[in-house]
């Protein structure tokens, strides 16, 4: 028999989660602020958040933001419940929400979803969810939680799932900034974006494993060991990047913050190192 659960929030992501649990045979009680979202899903529809919470021990939240969680669960009896909050928020919000849940007699697990809704419920999509908070809750429900996407439990600190989530998203935005700048550089030239795209993908893929070198340097504390492209060399060619941008009529605003961080580090005598030292400087 499959664990029954309640789900609050049937937006794009909540609906994808609901479909995955229902398809796997889990009895599901669903609530959404605006009625009608559960029509045709095959879930039991709860009229109020309190009814949804009362229906099952395992209660999953997938609402817009932490404020909507606060509003939705205000005054609802949470004693003895296992709350899993998949609503995106900051580490501080997750820690506060965990303490709030504990005060109300509930176990709490926070989640950060690393996927878009179409990836949910497809085991080979690469979708997964970071979880942190009550390890006991995670162990008790890990098979149920693994239905919509993969699971990666990152610790008892309830803020760690959000921190991992935001760290990965932040790196992604750095990558998107570079991609935006690169396409801007070629925009007015006779270079087809679709011809350039595979070159960009291959280059980013080749550079990505550098992450491991940075991690090793951060752990060893030796930021100059085995360096092949030191910061002094990189800063010397920074002008090439900004002059090329100027020549192409492209604003350097997406790349200058990182270049100036490197310049300050070299000016302070770290020219023989690679980028690991920038982490502490930032």
Full strand arrangement of the beta sheet holding 107-114: 44-45, 28-31, 5-8, 58-61, 82-85, 107-114, 128-133, 150-153
Strands 58-61 and 44-45: unpaired
Among 53, 98, 113, 278, binds ligand NDP (CB under 6 A): 113
Residue closest to ligand NDP (Cβ): 11
Eight-class DSSP state of 43:
P
Among 92, 116, 168, 191, binds ligand NDP (CB under 6 A): 116
273 forms bridges with which residues in the sheet?
none
Judge residue 24's burial from the number of C-beta atoms within 10 Å of its C-beta, 0-12 exposed, 13-18 middle, 19 or more buried.
Answer: middle
171 binds ligand NDP (CB under 6 A): no
149 binds ligand NDP (CB under 6 A): no
Pick the piece of the chain touching ligand NDP (CB under 6 A) from 110-118, 155-163, 178-186, 199-207: 110-118
Q: In Å, how far are 97, 186, 199, 209, 224 from 205, measured between CA atoms?
A: 38, 20, 10, 8, 24
**Residues 66-85, interacting with ligand NDP (CB under 6 A):** 68, 71-72
Comparison of 49 and 277: residue with beta carbon closer to ligand NDP: 49
166 binds ligand NDP (CB under 6 A): no
Write down the least CB distance from residue 174 to ligand NDP, Å.
19
111 binds ligand NDP (CB under 6 A): no
Which residues of the shown chain bind ligand NDP in the complex (CB under 6 A)?
9-14, 32-34, 37, 62-65, 68, 71-72, 87-88, 113, 116-117
């Amino acid at each position: 028999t499959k664990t029954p659960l309640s789900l609050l929030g049937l937006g794009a992501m909540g609906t994808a989660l609901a479909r995955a649990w229902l398809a796997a045979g889990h009895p599901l009680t669903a609530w959404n602020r605006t009625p009608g979202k559960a029509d045709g899903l095959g879930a039991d529809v709860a009229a109020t958040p309190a009814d949804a919470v009362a229906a099952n021990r395992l209660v999953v939240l997938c609402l817009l933001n932490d404020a909507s969680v606060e509003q939705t669960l205000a005054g609802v009896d949470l004693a003895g419940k296992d709350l899993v909050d998949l609503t995106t928020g900051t580490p501080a919000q997750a820690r506060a929400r965990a303490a709030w849940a504990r005060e109300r007699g509930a176990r709490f697990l926070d989640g950060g979803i690393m996927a878009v809704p179409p990836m949910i419920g497809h085991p080979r999509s690469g979708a997964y969810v970071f979880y942190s908070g009550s390890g006991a809750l995670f162990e008790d429900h890990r098979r149920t939680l693994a239905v919509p996407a993969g699971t990666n439990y990152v610790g008892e600190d309830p803020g760690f799932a959000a921190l991992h989530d935001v760290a990965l998203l932040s790196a992604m935005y750095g990558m998107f900034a570079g991609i935006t700048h690169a396409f801007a550089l070629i925009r007015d030239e006779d270079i087809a974006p679709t011809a350039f795209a595979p070159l960009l993908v291959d280059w980013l893929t080749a550079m990505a494993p550098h992450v491991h070198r940075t991690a090793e340097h951060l752990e060893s504390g030796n930021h100059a060991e085995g360096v092949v492209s030191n910061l002094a060399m990189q800063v010397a060619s920074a002008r090439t990047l900004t002059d090329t941008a100027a020549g192409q009529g492209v604003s350097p605003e997406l790349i200058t913050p990182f270049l100036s961080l490197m310049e300050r580090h070299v000016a302070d005598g770290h020219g023989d190192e690679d980028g690991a030292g920038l982490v502490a400087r930032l």
